Structure 1
Amino acid sequence: MEENPPESERESWKLSVDGSSCITGSGVGVLLVSPSGWTLEYALRFGFKATNNEAEWEALIAGLTIAKHLEVQRIEVSSDSQLVVGLACGEYEPRDDSMVKYLSHFQSLKPTFEVLSVTKIPRAENARADQLSKLATAGELERNQTVMIHYLDRPTISEADVMDIDVPQELNWMTPFIYWLRDGILPEDPAEARKLVYRANRFQLRGGILYKRSFSFPWLRCLTPQEADYTLREVHEGVWATIRGVEHCPTSW
């Protein structure tokens, strides 16, 4: 006789999504909550112009993609977009090419989940996702200290260019963060993936360089073990070498 799965495995994750398009830019907000209450807040800024409907689709796809990487099986999605919910539920038929492509992308994600529902809710009940989407279009986005931030250079439905990606030959502690922030790739182990997503909130990738926010708020450049070793030797042989009794200088990376 088969045992019933734990209650936590039968409960659904909650996903709230919203898109925003205005004169200052476009972006999305994603709020993902596990059955145990673990919460992920995500703001995604676009590097391209998007309509409100396109932004709403990007929000839904971004949220489901994160849930997929976390190996979520059961998920309940809430959106205040009548069009997106209607298309996702099969109540509407897409009438333009971009909506056809977004719907196709959404349908390709559906088999990932054991249970997936998409529900239309009033905007007033989608307040936090709406705030996150507005934050994604704000100029002070980089100053935020609690929300995970990412940038989308092109629409999800656009054709990807074939190109060589310069991946570091030697893996190090920064590699998982770079893979997640740059490529949206998480570790296969769900526990490690959740830990990485939580910790990544304090990291940011700028021009291919990884930075970490310190407790005093300035961004610190992260170093590979080789770079750290070189930096330590330079410091010891420089100004710190003149201080008697100093064997290990205080550093952070």
Structure 2
Amino acid sequence: MEVYIDDMVVKSKKVEDHFSSFDIDQIRRDLNTHADALASLGSNFSPAVFDKIPIVHLLEPTIEKPGQTCPINEDTNSWTKPYYDWFLQGILSKDRHEARALRIKASTYTIINNMLFKKSLAGPYLRCLERHEAKQVIEDIHDGYCGNHKGGRSLASKVLRTGYFWPTLRADCIAYSFKCEACQLHSPFIHRPSKILHSISAP
């Protein structure tokens, strides 16, 4: 709370030069009932109401320039491109087996605001990421401000709970945790021998 108040004081001092005068008033609780009701509105709904609400974690600025739309990845090597082609243009592979497999997989995906999401069995939709976005997410969750240097499997579970998905999620998280220098320095010592011990009888 003190950090939040300090940030507000710093911001207010930056903008006070742009005004000739201003007043700061404290509103009594009985006069602020509408804001209190709005703040407590979310706690009155059951969790089932929010099961199908997508959680969008913003990796880029939300303010768009005039005439700019949400970009769609046109990279031919992207794993999301077949889904975009199928949902937006109805294009499938010429191979009959690949086309059938894509239609089956596409039943668990959807597009919201030109962004691909995967339908989660346990909760909200998962935002589908590209390789460069996935690397940034792993770094932030593993050793970011709130990171605790989890292992590969627990790191992958936390990424899913945060709301992200890509096909090689588990393998990428395990590989990243193995390469983390801090994890290797502070990991517990393994006292188990590298080879099976053989008993030697005395002559």
Give TM-score scaled by structure 1 length. Answer: 0.32
Give TM-score scaled by structure 2 length. Answer: 0.39
Indicate the structure (1 or 2) with the bigger Cα radius of gyration.
Answer: 2
Q: Kindly indicate whether structure 1 or structure 2 has the higher relative contact order, using CA contacts under 8 Å at least 6 residues apart.
A: 1
